[in-house]
Amino acid sequence: MEDVSVVMANRAATSSSEHAAAMAPYIAEGTKRASPAGNRGPLQLDKSGKLHPDILKVYNEKGFYIFEGVIGAEELDSLRADVTNMIDRAPVQPGAQVDAKGRPAMGLDHAAEPYSFIKPLSDPFGGTGLLNGRHPVQMIQPEPEDDVPNDVLFLLRDICQAMPACLRLYGHPQLLGIAEAVNGSDFVPYTEVIFVKQAGRGGAVSWHQDGVTHWQSPNWDLGIHGFNFQVQLYDTTPANGLWIVPGSHKLGHIDIKKRVEDNGGERLPDAIPLICAPGDVTIVNRQMLHGSFANTSVDQRISITIGFHRRASVLGQRSALAIEGGDIYDEQRIFERSAVIAVAIDARAQYFPNETRYCYEPFVGLEEDYRWNDDTFERVIRNYSSRDLAI
């Protein structure tokens, strides 16, 4: 066990290559721990086309699953192209109006800035009060060795507005079918964000549990804070990927600071990496203890993160995670945000006419009003993130 005071003292002095070297044995052990977990495989449906109950059982037991090869090559190409374009169109530096080529940056007409930047290899949330202080420990922030820019892209938001391929992904029938199996047929959205973990520059996301609302609720259970998908656009390795502590979604609100201190450092011994190929989709319970380390590897990771809740978990709740300043989530608010799903389903159906479209129960009979067109772009999609449902 490492001495935590030594770890703390060494933080500032850790170079990128020292960090990568120190991660190597932990990665080897974590990879060994990950393989018997068995929570991976192709997406299997039962005879009625619903998620196979065996997978649901495994998901409920361990709190995660890796669905292999869900996103086909053609769709993956269009997602990569749109995301690459959004990255290219980022402000040349935080707050700038133009991109690196002098073109107007994307997002100038969005209600909120869709790009977040951080210092290379930093941990922007750990040890701060941001997002309800749910990241109590700051991760190691290695010193970059290369000639790196002062600020690097970290998060992309408003993704269904900015990228047609992401809007279509949001209407994916199999992903929505999983959301239905886990959260019920009247499931509702949470938010979407893309984590960009650039090779040798990407920041850490400190250990945390996502949910903040229902820890003390008399109705608390394993699924009350919903789940997140991550659609992986490139290979996801232990060095750049998300790590989770399997089964920790069952433990209630964990004292993360104590766990890390008792361990003598951030490399938790029971965590495993979610290793994925391009096109794989992970599902992780939002109560899971999870995080990712500074990316001192040579591989970038781009993860399209899409969350869903049970309707009952959200209805009547006040916005959390400081996302929309204290809004109450009434029926109308939930309906307006859920309409993004209805429009996404139609956008997808127009693009992939031979695919069976998902039938989203809350919008049955309203399909004509939620066709994908210029009107619904203005009415439903423009600035939709300001209507997120964060608990």
Ligand X SMILES: O=C(O)CCC(=O)C(=O)O
Site residues (vs ligand X, CB under 6 A): 195, 205, 210, 228, 242, 290, 292, 303, 305
In the complex with ligand X, the residue whose CB is nearer, 105 or 281, is 281
- Residue 301 CB, nearest approach to ligand X (Å): 7
In the complex with ligand X, the residue whose CB is nearer, 39 or 228, is 228
**And the tokens for 352?**
């992939």
- Asked if 271 contacts 244 with a C-beta cutoff of 8 angstroms, the reply is yes
Distance, CA of 154 to CA of 198 (rounded, Å): 8
Find the helix packing angle between 173-183 and 53-62, rounded to 10°. 60
- Residue 205 CB, nearest approach to ligand X (Å): 4
Distance, CA of 344 to CA of 362 (rounded, Å): 14
Amino acid at 177: G
In the complex with ligand X, the residue whose CB is nearer, 248 or 305, is 305
- Residue 366 CB, nearest approach to ligand X (Å): 30
- Residue 288 CB, nearest approach to ligand X (Å): 9
| Rounded to 5°, angle at Cα 92 from 88 and 95 | 120
In the complex with ligand X, the residue whose CB is nearer, 183 or 376, is 183
- Residue 130 CB, nearest approach to ligand X (Å): 13
In the complex with ligand X, the residue whose CB is nearer, 195 or 358, is 195
In the complex with ligand X, the residue whose CB is nearer, 105 or 302, is 302
186 secondary structure, DSSP code = T
99 secondary structure, DSSP code = -
In the complex with ligand X, the residue whose CB is nearer, 243 or 329, is 243
- Residue 64 CB, nearest approach to ligand X (Å): 12
Q: CA-CA-CA-CA torsion for 288, 289, 293, 295, nearest 10 degrees?
A: 0
In the complex with ligand X, the residue whose CB is nearer, 205 or 349, is 205
Give Cα 160 to chain centroid, integer Å: 14
CA-based nearest residue to 163, from 64, 250, 88: 88
Distance, CA of 25 to CA of 20 (rounded, Å): 10
41 secondary structure, DSSP code = E
In the complex with ligand X, the residue whose CB is nearer, 59 or 363, is 59
- Residue 39 CB, nearest approach to ligand X (Å): 17
In the complex with ligand X, the residue whose CB is nearer, 51 or 193, is 193
**And the tokens for 309?**
């809740």
Phi first, then psi: give them for residue 141, nearest 5 degrees: -115, 90
- Residue 172 CB, nearest approach to ligand X (Å): 18
- Asked if 249 contacts 285 with a C-beta cutoff of 8 angstroms, the reply is yes
Residue number of the CB atom closest to ligand X = 292
- Residue 208 CB, nearest approach to ligand X (Å): 6
- Residue 60 CB, nearest approach to ligand X (Å): 19
Burial 211-222, CB ≥16 within 10 A → b, else e: bbbbeeeeeeee
Q: CA-CA-CA-CA torsion for 316, 319, 321, 322, nearest 10 degrees?
A: -160
Distance, CA of 257 to CA of 31 (rounded, Å): 24
CA-based nearest residue to 298, from 16, 13, 87: 16
Distance, CA of 292 to CA of 300 (rounded, Å): 13
